[in-house]
Amino acid sequence: MVNHDIKLSEQDHKGRAYLEIDGQTRAEMTYSLAGSKLLIIDHTEVDESLQGQGVGRKLLDKVIELVRERKLKVLPLCPYAKAQFEKDENIQDVLRGK
């Protein structure tokens, strides 16, 4: 498991959770804010050298932490995020429509 901190960055209505190693973005999950109550997860990308180490899930967990703090709901358009929500009942409370 990679032991680096996942960071968040937002500008206007767009944001991302990302992992930098040696000044390079090696993994990121991008999202858009739609209004004041909905966060749409658009895309997840993890560098090939980090795949299989749970980095994508760490990105998702960071976004879910933000969603819970702001009392938002999530619409996962990204196939990776959507699959994670389908597999894990512990995070389904933040899905839109729940």
**Structure confidence at residue 26 as a pLDDT band (50, 70, 90):** very high
What domains appear along the chain, each with residue ranges and CATH number?
A: 7-94 (3.40.630.30)
For the ranges 14-18, 31-35, 94-98, the lowest mean pLDDT is seen at: 94-98
Question: What's the average model confidence in pLDDT over 72-90?
Answer: 98
pLDDT for residue 3: 55
Is the pLDDT reported for residue 1 higher than 70? no
Q: Which residues of 57-67 are buried (b: 16+ CB within 10 A; e: fewer)?
A: bbbbebbbebb
90 has a pLDDT exceeding 90: yes
Band (2; pLDDT cuts 50, 70, 90): low
Alpha-carbon span 56 to 70, nearest angstrom:
22
pLDDT for residue 98: 77
pLDDT digits (tens, 9 = 90+) for 30-79: 999 999 999 999 999 999 999 999 999 999 999 999 999 999 999 999 99
Which contacts of 82-86 are long-range, i.e. CB under 8 A and separated by 24 or more positions? Answer: 84/56, 84/57, 84/60
Cα of 39 vs its chain's centroid, Å = 10
> What SS3 class is residue 94?
helix
